[in-house]
Structure 1
Amino acid sequence: MELTLTDDQQELRRGARRFLAAESSPDKVDAAMKTERGYDPATWQRICEELGWPALTIPEAYEGIGLGPRELYPLMEEMGRHVACAPFFSTVCLGVNALLCAGTEAQKQAHLPAIAAGERTATVAYTEPSGRWDASAIKATATRHGDGYVLRGHKRYVLDGHSADLLVVAARAPGSTGENGVSLFVVPATTAGVTRTWLPTMDQTRKQADVVLDGVRVPADAVMGEPGAGWAPLARTLALAVTALAAEQVGGAEACLELAVEYAKVRKQFGRPIGSFQAIKHKCADMLLLVESARSAALYASLLAAEAVEALGAGGPSAGASAAFAEAASSAKAYCSEAYFHCAGESIQIHGGIGFTWEHPAHLYFKRARSSQTLLGSPAYHRERVASLMDL
């Protein structure tokens, strides 16, 4: 098993780095995060039309490029490196994966080509005010009504939920508990009864929203897969998203290291660069170790993710393979979250006073690192998940 990128993947990384260096500079990130939408629509259209990134992991049968998690990895690293403000993670890593893991053929045909063409964005409305990521946290209900369902509940921390065109909503049958009775629904964001409100979170580089479902009526064909059997495909969706997020965290951590090293070379104190002092050397060395260890964990998770996606297309992975992927994804998320947050904090410390200012980009990485640490489950949650998967 090679924990390295192929030549094609390296070329994808180089192309992404060139584009994002120009279109996701600190000034442009600052401008995007000050808007309620959270990204520049013109830049997003260029990403869709010129680069085709939303189509990357969509199969060719649905007008996509047909690649997988291995090719997504370098792209996510670069997005993390440049703190990219775009509805890519919500649309591709959550929305597309949910459609591929749980959607019916009709739902895939209806939505995936539009997403691939950049005509539609999507997200998953899963978490609720508790902020928990386990199945028991789902309190929204889906009640049978005639030939359809009525959805009621309150979703919170929904990525790009205020601007997405399509919502994949997790709700449960009244009276059900735990992983039982959970269903996924494809809900156009303009459906009557859906109210979306932008949330003023600490990290405005990745927008979140409140989504209230007040008697939302949806037809029976809005159900993704079998009614009441939505937890397993949702768990696969989240594992794939966690793997992509770990890659993004690696890119962000490496950017923090590079910023710190460059500053340590030019900032002088007592007549010499601060990088010549042993304390700064130790900080940078520790950051490098964290970055490379995190990269290994994230790459390994992406390899198992690719195998899981291939197995899904061939009828589904075995129970052992599914558990191995889930374990690798959670391990990567736990480690990469802490590595990124540590590197972001150390970078600010090495920069000193300038690192605490809004004029320096260090705060962008620190905020993204902290929000990403919680997104899709905290390190503690994922360590507990790994222990559970290992029957510890």
Structure 2
Amino acid sequence: MQFDLTDEQQELVSFVRELLTQRSDSGAVRAVMGTPDGFDRGLWAVLCGEIGAASLAIPEEFGGAGFSSYETHLVLEELGYALTPSPFLASAILATQALLVANNSEASTRLLPGIADGSHIATLAWAAPDGRWRPDQIGVDATPNGESWSLSGEVPLVAYGAQADTLLVIARTSAGVALFEITGESGVTREETSAMDPTLRFTTVRLTEAQGREVAAGGTIDLELLRARVLTAVSALQVGTAARGLDMTLAYAGQRVQFGRTIGSFQVVKHRLADMYVQLETARTASRAAAWAVANDSDDVTELARIAKVWCSRALDFVASETVQLHGGIAITWEHDAHLVFKRAHATAQLFASPSEVRREVEESLLAASA
């Protein structure tokens, strides 16, 4: 594995960082959190149209830039650092990877170019009614209806489901789990639901005999691979947010004066800052290892994705807690961004699988392998 960034990757990170510094500072983030869209469409247009961020992992034959998911991973780290409200995870990761895993050339040719240039926002509805994302727990049933399909069921926690132009759905069929594209709004109800992290948007999608087009036939889509790619992407957001928490805490420790000294000069504070740094760097290593595995179709991608999800969730939780503690009382005020780091930590830890669920899956797989 090679984690040193190439010149092209460094340039990509610099472009994204400069854009987010100009267009997604603390004031801008707070301004869009409460809007109906929940994100800045102007910023989205620049990110996708001028920088091409959403096109990085999409093959050139489908209107993409033809790079890899590793470059997309770097963009997610920067979005996590800026705490930017954005449908990037939903559209450029969830929907894009679902289409690529489905390996349907017709659907990819039709849908991916719009996702690549940002003109269409897409998302994936997968979670079961109890809010869990597992290949064996699907809350939607699909039945043939002439040349199309009829889908019924309820899916909570659909990322940017209310804003999406294209809605992909994981559903059960008589032949197994399949992937569908909803082809009309008849029988589709989208209800936005509140989230702990105000920079994220989720929707409950209810389908009542909604019409759909089959993208991947029953039993042909590898949901474990799709989930591994999504868990890896979430870990990138967590690493970026942890870096933000550490940086703002370092800055505060160098400014806050107590007993005639900056608090950063006290040995106990130095130790806590060092612990935050260790957590961040180990999380970055785990996350980029999983990203490398995804980009190179490695055989251990599922294992590394699970490690990244568990470790990065734990690391961000630690960094966020220390960020609040070392900032003192101002950290829990609405005016300070420390509470956004804290909420991002708790929200992303549960997203697409909690650390305890993933650890249990690892235990089950190890027991099965030794049996």
TM-score range, shorter chain: over 0.9
Within 2, Cα distance between the matches of 1:286 and 1:256? 13
**Equivalent position of 1:314 in the other structure:** none
Structure 1 residue 336 corresponds to structure 2 residue 346: no
Q: Among all aligned residue pairs of Structure 1 and Structure 2, give the percentage whose two residues are the same amino acid.
A: 38
- Where structure 1 has 5 or more consecutive residues not aligned to the other structure, the ranges are 175-179, 309-320
**Partner-residue secondary structure (3-state), 1:132:** coil
**Equivalent position of 1:315 in the other structure:** none
Within 2, Cα distance between the matches of 1:236 and 1:381? 17
**Partner-residue secondary structure (3-state), 1:142:** strand
**Equivalent position of 1:9 in the other structure:** 9
| Aligned-partner residue type, residue 335 of structure 2 | E
Instruction: Indicate if the aligned counterparts of 2:180 and 2:216 stay in contact, CA closer than 8 A.
Output: no
| Aligned-partner residue type, residue 336 of structure 1 | C
**Equivalent position of 1:226 in the other structure:** 217
**Equivalent position of 2:250 in the other structure:** 261
Within 2, Cα distance between the matches of 1:139 and 1:99? 20
Within 1, Cα distance between the matches of 2:188 and 2:161? 11
**Equivalent position of 1:215 in the other structure:** 209
**Equivalent position of 1:182 in the other structure:** 177
Within 2, Cα distance between the matches of 1:294 and 1:186? 35
Within 2, Cα distance between the matches of 1:389 and 1:6? 36
> TM-score with structure 1 length normalisation?
0.90
Q: 1:287 aligns with which of 276, 282, 300?
A: 276
CA offsets 1:115-167 (integer angstroms, 9 cap, x no match): 11221111110013311122232131111223332100000000001110111
Within 2, Cα distance between the matches of 1:302 and 1:386? 19
CA offsets 1:283-331 (integer angstroms, 9 cap, x no match): 11110010010011011111111111xxxxxxxxxxxx44x11000010
Structure 1 residue 198 corresponds to structure 2 residue 192: yes
Within 1, Cα distance between the matches of 2:312 and 2:154? 30
Within 2, Cα distance between the matches of 1:16 and 1:193? 39
1:66 Cα deviation from its structure 2 partner: 0.6
- Report the aligned-residue RMSD: 1.5
Q: 1:380 aligns with which of 356, 359, 369?
A: 356
**Partner-residue secondary structure (3-state), 2:254:** helix
Within 2, Cα distance between the matches of 1:124 and 1:38? 18
Within 2, Cα distance between the matches of 1:135 and 1:100? 17
CA offsets 1:87-112 (integer angstroms, 9 cap, x no match): 11100110111111104111011111
Within 1, Cα distance between the matches of 2:49 and 2:147? 39
Within 1, Cα distance between the matches of 2:217 and 2:136? 19
Within 2, Cα distance between the matches of 1:377 and 1:4? 29
Instruction: Indicate if the aligned counterparts of 1:274 and 1:280 stay in contact, CA closer than 8 A.
Output: yes
Q: 1:361 aligns with which of 337, 340, 350?
A: 337
CA offsets 1:229-259 (integer angstroms, 9 cap, x no match): 33x1x32222112112111211110110111
CA offsets 1:41-67 (integer angstroms, 9 cap, x no match): 122112222211111111111121011
5 Å-filtered alignment, 1:129-140, equals: 129-140=129-140
Within 2, Cα distance between the matches of 1:13 and 1:160? 25
> TM-score with structure 2 length normalisation?
0.95
Instruction: Indicate if the aligned counterparts of 2:188 and 2:205 stay in contact, CA closer than 8 A.
Output: yes
Within 2, Cα distance between the matches of 1:11 and 1:217? 44
5 Å-filtered alignment, 1:310-329, equals: 321-322=298-299, 324-329=300-305
Instruction: Indicate if the aligned counterparts of 1:357 and 1:363 stay in contact, CA closer than 8 A.
Output: yes
Within 2, Cα distance between the matches of 1:302 and 1:91? 18
Within 1, Cα distance between the matches of 2:38 and 2:364? 37
Instruction: Indicate if the aligned counterparts of 2:56 and 2:69 stay in contact, CA closer than 8 A.
Output: no
**Partner-residue secondary structure (3-state), 2:153:** strand
Instruction: Indicate if the aligned counterparts of 2:168 and 2:179 stay in contact, CA closer than 8 A.
Output: yes
**Equivalent position of 1:81 in the other structure:** 81
> Size of the alignment, in residue pairs?
368
Within 1, Cα distance between the matches of 2:228 and 2:308? 10
1:278 Cα deviation from its structure 2 partner: 2.1
Instruction: Indicate if the aligned counterparts of 1:133 and 1:376 stay in contact, CA closer than 8 A.
Output: yes
**Partner-residue secondary structure (3-state), 1:66:** coil
CA offsets 1:174-221 (integer angstroms, 9 cap, x no match): 6xxxxx711110124x43111101112221201000100011123xxx
**Partner-residue secondary structure (3-state), 2:154:** strand
Instruction: Indicate if the aligned counterparts of 1:172 and 1:228 stay in contact, CA closer than 8 A.
Output: no
Provide closer, same or farther for how the CA distance between residues 66 and 389 of structure 1 changes in structure 2, counting only shifts above 3 A.
farther
